[in-house]
Structure 1
Amino acid sequence: MGKTLFIAEKPSVAMDFVKLLNVKGIRSNGYIEGEKSIFTWCVGHMVTMSYPEAYDEKLKFWNLKDLPFLPNEYKYEVISSAANQFNIVNSLMNRKDVDCIYVCTDSGREGEYIYRLVDDMAGKPNKIKKRVWIDSQTEEEIRRGIREAKLLSDYDSLAHSAYLRAKEDYIFGINFSRLLTLMYGKTVANALKKDKNVVVAVGRVMTCVLGMVVEREREIRSFNKTSFYKISGEFIKDNDEVIIKGDWKSIEGSKYFESPKLYNEVGFKNKEDAEILIKDLREIGFGVVNEVKKTKEKKNAPLLYNLAELQNECTKRFKISPDETLKIVQGLYEKKMVTYPRTDARVLSTAVAKGIKSNIIKLRNMPIGDELINVTSEILEKDYSKSIMKSKYVDDSKITDHYAIIPTGEGKDTLSKLPSLDKKVYYIILRRFLSIFYPPAQYSKMSIVILVGSESFILNKKICIDKGYLIVLGNEKDEEQESFPENLRKGTKLNINELEIKEGETSPPKRYTTGSMIIAMENAGKLIEDEELREHIKGAGIGTSATRAEILKKLINIQYIQSNNKTQIITPTELGEMIYEVINVSIPSLLNPSLTASWEKGLKMVNDKEIEPKEFMIKLEAYTRKNTTKVLNNPNISFLNTKLLKIKNQ
């Protein structure tokens, strides 16, 4: 029987495998060899797609007549900086005494792509190949991943989607960047008063995100504030000091119901109309309680974190970029403290949920502070985890590659040594995880309608009567603990104590932050503030959990957008707005979030075996040919000049 070769994505991961499997091996250059097994590693990507000049030397020079460039067969090459390690991995894969290869690169599309390219360049050696698919770097999970490893061929559809994603980015980048640079690079350079032509960088996802930033900025610039005037009232019972506050609302029966004088149902367009109403109400002098309604409401803990939600949360709390959040949580994963971070799921799988109690037991023995140790103890003593299986937090249908990010319970000696920010990120993951086992928060709600003549004043009040899971989250603001007005029933007379006009003002749309942009990308260009609603309508997004932070970082690096380090607010640069205009007059569909999301959905359909890879490529090449021809036949340079001049002079 021959040896087994384990190929990891990084040296540190390979060393974890050696240690956890208790292999007594000899360290050589680029690998570790034991009696029955060999452990080696990639250094991230070791193989890449070749530039056009590898196909034909003349393609090194950009020329319109060579576009579109759509190879029949794609060429790949070893990255020069990784050549030494590639040669080592290549020789090990082709060793005669190696009869089985375990693929241990990251369990996701990109990790699959890293290995498959190496396998191709190594000549696809005829060995038994198995895929280790794990959700954390713990000893238990690694052993399970090896024990349950499936044949690599079971992941062929994932590999197809990975190759297609790379080809798609390559085709868009090579063809449209060259096309638009050659057509409009000089026009942009002239507008910016630069000597050299400006390179127009185009990316399938990157360009769409640029469009979202520019369009939001323009919405803000063109926004005109509108003032409106609300009326609030204070009421008291005879011989009572308790003041009851309510806001006027134009509902059915009101003199102003659906009146053109209203800005909306709670405010007037003109202050004078509000003053007239106040005068009429004061003449009446009292109100009568028309309705008192009391209800109870329960609110469950939010779903667990996926990468997008975690990045958004860290941007809001710590004002750090999504890229920095990813680095921190990736580090926690590599320290075995949390599960795989590049996930879109916000729930647990049934299999994981069945054994989740062991995570809580481990966490109780972690140095997480008395407060959270008491929380873990309560979860265990009251057996809260028992009900998790039938909750919204467990749903196999909402998991593709990996379940949500949760703490593993490992890292007892590591936690105290973490940098401050890493520790904070760990704790918000920990608190969110523990909160799902707690009962819901409970609220008592009261709605009071007071009639003054035919006009209604409404008071809505909500009081938290049982914090439930809010105790665990810790950072949540306490609800107001005022009491409800007492002894109020329908027909109770209330005297008007005070009526006042409050001026309001409409607000422009908010600029994206780096975190909220990640959420908007996940939801195909829609920035949905409500967390529950986001989960219900989520479909194919723009980019993936693994790539979104990198896309934002690239846009900042090429100076198309800028991010404020203190607030993480994103705005377009002058150059970015000009590039936007170039694309808008040439290939506007590149700016469309729905279309960009549809390409991502196509890749998912390949992964799910719903369409063949060939079908995807046919559509991709047709789109590229069609738009290349359209731009060549319709230059639109004079129209673009006008647009660029406007940007320069704004």
Structure 2
Amino acid sequence: MMAQNKILVIAEKPSVGRDIGRVLKCSKKLNGALEGNQYIVTWALGHLVTLSDPERYDNKYKEWRMTDLPMIPDKMHLEVIRETSKQYQAVKALIQRGDVQEIVIATDAGREGELVARWILSKAGNQKPTKRLWISSVTDKAIRDGFANLKQGKDYDNLYYAAVSRAEADWLVGMNATRALTCKYNAQLSCGRVQTPTLAMIAKREEEIRNFKPQAFYGIKLCAGKNSGKTDSMTFTWQDRKSKSSRSFEKSKIENYIKDCTGKRAIVEKVDKSFKKKEAPLLYDLTELQRDANKLYNFSAKETLTIMQRLYENHKIVTYPRTDSRYLTTDMTDTLKERLRACGTGPYQKLAAVLYRGNIKAKASFVNNQKVTDHHAIIPTEQFVQLDHLTNEERKVYDLIVRRFMAVLYPPFEYEQTTVTLTIGEYAFIAKGRVIKNPGWKMVYESQSMEEDDSMALQKLTEVKEGEQLEVYSIQITEGKTAPPAPFNEATLLSAMENPVAYLENKNKEDIKTLGETGGLGTVATRADIIEKLFHTFLLEKRGKDIFITSKAKQLLELVPDDLKKPEMTADWERKLSGIASGKLKRTIFMEEIKDYTKEIIDEIKTGDGKFRHENLTSHKCPNCGKRLLLVKGKNSTMHVCQDRECGYRETISKLSNARCPKCHKKMELKGKGDAQVFICSCGYKEKLNSFKERRKNEGAGVSKKDVHHYMNQMKKEEEKGTTAFADALSKLKL
């Protein structure tokens, strides 16, 4: 009997592959795939193939030398990513299987998703015809409809050209500039199209704070009411009739206003009542979730993404996390009730019951096909949750997602807002208040404040009529000082990366539009890693929650070419990449521009007259080469690092542990080595490691592996890495 020809479907990740496999009735398990009568469904794990490192083109690039720059290969090569090579081999074997006659690309519907599949097919030497599944959600209906309307693979050639152009451009600029800076200044310096403008934004904020000169401002607070008992007192604030500002920088002017008002009648000029509705905040995309998790729980962007991956892949109780959309598609509305049942347990049971009793409706405020790109917003799945199976951190992130999901299903928050305008002579005073008519979605957050307007919530206003005279109980001057911009934290840095318009030098409308449409610097999937990399390379440091650039970063920004520090470069690239994707610009033209630009920045670095100075030298000497060690503060640890990058020695001298101080309950640092290690808290508490173990044992808790044992093993690994792999990598540098 003749074997039936089959169609191979390549998804971007296992979860999507399994969803597609279920719809296509592929139940037989293979190595990294599912097989049915007509289809075989396999998957990538994100990128399985990437651009080759420089040394793959020529052995001379194993050593970093300025004379070898710029590195501009005639043709870029691909190589399999070592960590996921097993899955690549499984996919390659299926591509080359004799009974596979056609391939369907089912990776994410977007530029990067196209690249994931095309690089795999290219590396595997595929010659078989391809088609494209283009869907924005993975419900059964969406998958069935998508397979009923498959597109020709060649229809997306221009999208692939844009994707590969972006990757090759980043390689050419990033690899060459990093090597040039490192060789020129004998220091481990790196730069790139996204990470360097991110550093520059933080540097600019710090400069604004340093240069800020506080100014005193003044206002007037007036208390008035209808009876002499003052039980109905309302607080009014002076407001300039022209500018509508309640502040003045001239104290004498405000003092004169108060004199003018003293002893005069206060008349209600206007009472404005309006009924208002406010919909719930939009559903979460990854960046907004990372922001809230940082603000509420001090989770880093990377920590939130890691937790989300566990909730998505292991527990299967939330949808795909790496999304930049905050909306759902219309084909998902039929699943809302089932998702609500799945998550409506424990603390969410009563909230869900309110929705069950009503009619669960999909509203335009959160359902919009046009605003869903590769993936819809993050919401719970139809998988029933077992809350006791989640860690404390997982519960916190899951709680954010569930409450936001329920909030959009609740009615709007409804209130009556009242604004009373009081006049004394020519001066106007304003009081605002509101009466809640229907708490709506605010019930979901109970005591939590969600985008509250505190100025309205401060007081309940007495009923007054226009033309009515009020008694002035008191009138006084108020004082304050203008505040500098706040330092960045991870939440605000993510916002700035997503929308860097404020940091554009030229304020070009086209640049603003492009950055708004393309998501700013980096993507939802890469921003967390970029921030982590900046900490890991000692370009950023944390002080409490706030983020600051290091001395190393300040010097790097002085040495790096100006274009690499500006968001405008990303805007320019994205415009041209969009032109390639739409067929309006040839890829070859863009790449020639990038090659020319690469040569220019290498020349600029080579001829630069700047110097790099290590400002964190200690009196400690390197045990390997004898040179003085640098004191380097990372995100969660402090290290001694050899200043000679060819040596590469590094050792951890303290690390933030998970052990809590028995006095103030903050996390303590673990310092020292071996039996001499000591826990130290910022409140001043100190405890030797052995004493800590004994105390925990007596308390019946034992010593947490995560707190102590895991830390010590990790420190040992870092030290080994510092004296082997790290040193080997840096020894390639020859000046």
Q: Secondary structure, in 3 states, of the residue corresponding to 1:311?
A: helix
Change (3 A) 1:604 1:510: farther
**2:487 corresponds to 1:511:** yes
- 2:549 equivalent among 572, 577, 597: 572
Which of 212, 216, 219 does residue 227 from structure 1 map onto?
Answer: 216
Contact 1:581 1:644 in 2 (8 A): no
Q: Which residue of structure 2 aligns with residue 249 of structure 1?
A: 239
Q: Does 1:115 align with 2:117?
A: yes
Question: Which of 382, 389, 408 is 1:417 aligned to?
Answer: 389
1:464 partner amino acid: I
Match of 2:334 among 348, 354, 357: 357
Residue 708 (structure 2) aligns with: none
Amino acid at match of 1:574: S
- Which of 274, 296, 300 matches 1:317? 296
Please say if residues 7 and 40 of structure 2, whose CA atoms lie closer than 8 Å, have aligned partners that are also in contact.
yes
Query: For 1:536 and 1:599, how far apart are their aligned partners in 2?
Result: 10
Corresponding position of 1:614: 588
In structure 2, what is the Cα distance between the partners aligned to 1:4 and 1:278? Answer: 83
Of 325, 341, 345, 2:325 maps to 345
Measured at CA, do residues 456 and 11 of structure 1 come closer, stay the same or move farther in structure 2, by a change above 3 Å? closer
Question: Matched residue pairs, number?
Answer: 598
Aligned to 2:569: 595
- Could you say what secondary structure the match of 1:269 adopts? coil
Q: If the length of structure 1 is used for normalisation, what is the TM-score?
A: 0.81
- Superposition deviation, residue 361 in structure 1: 4.0
* Secondary structure of residue in 2 paired with 1:539: helix
Computed over aligned residues only, the root mean square deviation of the Cα atoms, in angstroms, reads 3.6
> 1:605 Cα deviation (Å)?
4.1
- Is the Cα–Cα contact under 8 Å of residues 9 and 40 in structure 2 kept in the other structure? yes
Q: Aligned to 2:368, which of 395, 399, 402?
A: 395
CA distance, structure 2, for counterparts of residue 218 and residue 400 of structure 1: 37
**Secondary structure, counterpart of 1:543 in structure 2:** coil
Q: 1:484 aligns with which of 452, 458, 461?
A: 461
Contact 1:295 1:444 in 2 (8 A): yes
Identity %: 33
- Cα pair distance change 1:305/1:615, threshold 3 Å: farther
Listed as ranges, the gaps of 5+ residues in structure 1 are 186-196, 253-257, 259-263, 529-533
* Aligned amino acid, residue 376 of structure 2: Y
Displacement of 1:166 after TM fit? 1.4
- Which of 331, 346, 351 is 1:372 aligned to? 351
Secondary structure of residue in 2 paired with 1:294? strand
For 2:61, the aligned partner's letter is: L
Give the number of the structure with larger relative contact order, counting CA–CA contacts within 8 Å between residues 6 or more apart.
1
| Separation in 1, partners of 2:574, 2:283 | 24
Alignment of 1:157-556 (within 5 A): 157-183=158-184, 185=185, 197-237=186-226, 239=228, 241=230, 242-251=232-241, 265-269=245-249, 271=251, 273-282=253-262, 284-334=263-313, 335-349=315-329, 351-352=330-331, 355-364=332-341, 366-368=343-345, 369-380=348-359, 384-385=361-362, 388=363, 391-408=364-381, 410-414=382-386, 417-474=389-446, 475-476=448-449, 480=457, 482-490=459-467, 492-526=468-502, 538-540=516-518, 541-556=520-535
CA deviation vs aligned residue, 1:126-185 (integer Å, no higher than 9, x gap): 24455474634x6666566555554433433332232122112201111211222333x1
Measure how far apart 1:331 and its partner are. 3.5
Structure 2 portions without partners, runs of 5+: 505-511, 618-630, 632-735
Alpha-carbon distance in structure 2 between the residues aligned to 1:86 and 1:122: 9
How far 1:10 moved relative to its partner?
5.1
Local SS of the residue matching 1:551: helix
Cα distance, 1:509 vs structure 2 = 0.5
Aligned 8 A contact 1:135 1:340 in 2: no
Residues 228-270 of structure 1 deviation map (CA, whole Å, 9 limit, x = unaligned): 2222111233545321221223335xxxxx9xxxxx9433435
Kindly indicate whether the alpha-carbon contact (under 8 Å) linking 1:379 and 1:437 is maintained by their aligned counterparts in 2.
no
Indicate if the aligned counterparts of 1:100 and 1:127 stay in contact, CA closer than 8 A: yes
| TM-aligned CA deviation for residue 356 of structure 1 | 0.3
TM score, norm. by length of structure 2? 0.73
Q: For residue 203 of structure 2, what is the amino acid of its counterpart?
A: V
Q: Distance in 2 between matches of 1:278 and 1:536?
A: 50
Q: How much has 1:76 moved relative to structure 2?
A: 1.7
SS in structure 2 at match of 1:602: helix
CA 1:228–1:135: 2 relative to 1, 3 Å: same
Task: Give SS of 1:509's match.
Answer: coil
